[in-house]
Amino acid sequence: MKYIFERNPDTGEVFRREFGNYDKREKINNMSMISLYDYLGRAAGPDLGKQVAYAAAKAGIKSEIREVSHVGYKGPIMLYPRQFLDNFFGGGLNEGTSGKQLLKG
């Protein structure tokens, strides 16, 4: 099942609804925040990171920043709701698409 995520600009609440269903939506209360690295199991790279950040901003999805320091990288990373990333990589963010995956991770 594919979902569209929407944010109420007045309250900041995030809702999801089934692709193509405009009558019923569900408030998302507990969204687990995760980095692209943790989600993909590898570094996403700057291009994919920018595409995800753009899609999140366009959908009104709030992200968070975490500072990390390890052998390969030191600095800020973006965190996104897991459900958003599931939907992004599954192809459900744009109702104008054919339903195919937007990007391969």
Lowest mean pLDDT among 32-36, 42-46, 95-99: 95-99
Tell me the CA end-to-end span of the chain in Å, nearest whole number: 19
For the question of whether the overall pTM of this predicted structure is more than 0.75, the answer is no
| pLDDT exceeds 90 at position 96 | no
CA distance linking residue 76 with residue 96, whole number of Å = 33
Q: pLDDT for 47-76, tens place per residue?
A: 999 999 999 999 888 888 888 887 778 888
Task: State yes or no: pLDDT of 101 exceeds 80.
Answer: no
Residue 100 has pLDDT above 60, yes or no: no
**Residue 27 predicted with pLDDT over 90:** no
Among 105, 53, 44, residue whose Cα is nearest residue 84: 53
Alpha helix (H) residue ranges in 5-105 = 36-40, 46-59, 82-90
